[in-house]
Structure 1
Amino acid sequence: MAEVATSATSDQLLVVIDPVARQTDGESVRIVKDVLSAGAATKVCLPDGPEEFARALMRRGSRRPVVVGDDRALMRAVLLLHRRRELAGCVLSVVPVGPVLGVAHALGVPLGAVAAARAVLDGAERRLDMLVDDSDGVVLGALRIPAPATRQESVEAARPWLRTCRSLVRTLVPARPARETAPAVPGPSRLRVEVDGVTLVDLDQPLEAVSVSPGFGGGLASVEVRPLSVGAEASPLLATGRTVTVTGADFRYRADAGVAGPVRRRTWTVREGALGLVLPEVG
């Protein structure tokens, strides 16, 4: 992952606290506010939803934005700034609070509330690579194809009549809150994977999974394709490149904290140093 460290550019902070963080861990949020307020001039925003979250970021002025929330809040901020073409001129900080924290941790953000808040105040900006797809979506950590199906989806795919019965029941019985289901192992896929225009695997080869991440460094993505193994475990196919194109029957993919698709073709391109993130000093 390409990194260029510079000192943080503003002592004035705009602290945007995601509502999920406030609901799941109010004590950590209180600690973060205390630490940041003691070390810098802060303006705290408490948006009630995505629209207010976006409005707060758009009105940040010269203040350095600090997102207090989980991976979904971080991705929401990055995507907004990217689509407004403001990401290159913005230095972002994040304090991970909430239920989904894998991406922030992978990027090097401390997971403890105090340590992360101290990094906001004392850390340095690093320019990190990210993936941008042809629908203007972004990936910071990794994407995986296919996205895991829920157990219910797998059963319904094997028994189409069950989906019809469930639909009929839903029309007769008031809806109840959905319960989260455990992921099932996805079936094999047939996909063409091209790296910088060169075919790594074609549609005639069934696959277990494809993973792509922008963390290789030097503006390159790392690509791993796992063929479907029969008997002995098949060796993964590895490659690096600046563009990755996946083509095939309707497929879904997990990008960081969310699932996208179905699509039949998607191209991801590495944007070198696109994200400026404040991380702890190395040393």
Structure 2
Amino acid sequence: MATDDQLLVVIDPLARRTDGEAVRIAKDVLSAGAASTKVCLPEGPEEFARALSRRGSRRPVVVGDDRALLRAVAHLHRRRELGACALSLVPVGSALGLAHSLGVPTGAVAAARAALDGVERRLDLLVDDSDGVVLGALRIPALPGVPPRDPPGAGGATTGGRTAGGARAGGPEPGRNGDPGSGREADPGAASQTGSGTGGGAGTGAGTDAGAGPEAGSGTGSGRGSRSGDGSADGCASPSSGHHSWLRAWPQSLARTLSTRPAIPARMSRPLRPSRIRVAAGGGAGPARLRVEVDGVIIIDLDQPVEAVSITPYAHGGAAVEIRPVSVGAEAGPLHATGHRVTVSGADFRYRADSLVAGPVRTRTWTVREAAWGLTLPG
């Protein structure tokens, strides 16, 4: 099993944490079979890319899952070095569907031996108009059950009617101590008011008035009274004298009038963006209206909703495109096309490329690069 190859073994950090025994076995087999082996243990994507960039004449062997393979291919593609080397993969991890579909052996020993004694096979690559790469299947929209990824810095944006603080408009807002009843309540039929005063009442109290929203008073100094059925609108204690009842009735009627105005919902941390609203409503799955063009020919247009679009590169040139229209009345069969350039446009949509979810975008074009990258597989 001896070979004259000089190998650069890049071990993904997730593989080391997932199955350290398989990593050790693969490293031992590769070190015993190659003339020279350099092992790199990167701690993150930057070190991973730096190790590949400094490989020199060594042939890279990636020990990791599908995401590690995608990271390696994407980095070499951006550096325009895919044609100059053949990658090898020892699959370790839980996400290995892509590796198996490409023909990489299962098991650390078999995959390591294939990296040593296998043959290079040139495979096609899908490259989109943002210089992203797709090795296997691509699906639009993203598969159900895959949560859309929020863009960086989007934490706290409102999605599905829920604000950053976890409160839903029109419902109770959690209090500071996590007690649902200690926070504010945005109820269209009632308005919250806070009363304050310097009356003789001591301590803290709360009361309600028919037609007016709940009000709270808190003691300060000599104490602040809480509103009762005949209290004043600003929360002060009721006068002890019964004279001038119209003075007490007027503030109460004003409070009732003001309380009939709709309450303002819980304040949002930032305004909703239209694209975020559409994506949240659709959830990244379900029928969509898309225009699909293959080599400049429109296969389906916006007037026909579709359930899914899949694009898969062939082993020897071109890509297979399958479109599943929504059945209206009679059963609608899938549409098939083959070409080298596929453009999808329409409302904001997300797509799943290999094991990653991208988008939302309104248009994206994928071009087939024939025999663009090499993978060492069993002979």
- Could you state the TM-score of these two structures normalised by the residue count of structure 2? 0.64
Deviations 1:147-187 (A, max 9, x none): 1354877xxxxxxx97333522289789xxxxxxxxx8921
* Structure 2 match to 1:169: 166
Does the 8 A contact of 1:123 with 1:278 survive in 2? yes
Instruction: Map residues 224-239 of structure 1 onto 2, 5 A cutoff.
Output: 224-230=322-328, 233-239=331-337
The CA distance in 1 between the partners of 2:370 and 2:147, in whole Å, is 39
CA distance in 2, matches of 1:193, 1:224: 10
Aligned to 2:348: 250
Q: What residue is the counterpart of 2:52 in the other structure? A: 57
Matched, 1:188 2:295: no
1:43 Cα deviation (Å)?
Answer: 0.5
Taking a change above 3 Å as real, the CA distance of residues 75 and 200 of structure 1, as seen in their structure-2 partners, is same
Aligned to 2:92: 97
Q: In the superposition, relative to structure 1, how do residues 108 and 167 fare at CA in structure 2: closer, same or farther (>3 Å)?
A: same
Find the aligned partners of 1:167 and 1:188 in 2 and give their Cα distance: 29
1:66 to 42, 57, 61: 61
Residue 232 of structure 1, CA deviation:
5.4
Q: Which has the higher helix share?
A: 1
Equivalent position of 1:214 in the other structure = 313
User: Structure 2: any 5+ residue segments left out of the alignment?
Assistant: 149-157, 168-172, 178-282
CA gap of 1:35–1:233, structure 2 versus 1, over 3 A, is farther
Map 1:1-283 → 2, pairs under 5 A: 11-40=5-34, 41-150=36-145, 163-169=160-166, 186-215=285-314, 217-230=315-328, 233-281=331-379
CA RMSD of aligned residues (A): 2.4
Question: What 5-or-longer segments of structure 1 have no aligned partner?
Answer: 1-8, 154-160, 175-183
CA drift at 1:245: 0.4
Kindly provide the CA deviation profile for residues 22-50 of structure 1, in whole angstroms up to 9, marking residues without a partner as x.
00111110110111111012110000000
**Alpha-carbon displacement from aligned partner over 1:192-222 (angstroms, at most 9, x marks no partner):** 000000001000111010000112x432100
Secondary structure of the equivalent of 1:163?
coil
Cα distance between partner residues in 2 of 1:231 and 1:113 = 52
Q: Distance in 1 between matches of 2:357 and 2:117?
A: 34
Q: 1:219-250: CA deviations, max 9, x gaps?
A: 21000000112465421100100000001011
* CA drift at 1:269: 0.5
Counting matched residue pairs gives 257
One-letter amino acid matched to 1:189: A
In 2: Cα distance, 1:117 partner to 1:104 partner:
14
Structure 1 distance, partners of 2:13, 2:159, is 37
TM-score if structure 1 supplies the norm length? 0.85
CA 1:132 to 1:10, structure 2 compared with 1: closer, same or farther past 3 Å? farther
Structure number with the higher strand fraction is 1
Given that 1:10 and 1:63 are in contact with CA atoms closer than 8 Å, whether structure 2 keeps it comes out as no
SS class of match (1:189):
coil
Equivalents in 2 of 1:10, 1:246: separation in Å? 47
Higher relative contact order (CA 8 A, sep 6+): 1
1:250 counterpart SS class: strand
Identity, % of aligned pairs? Answer: 72
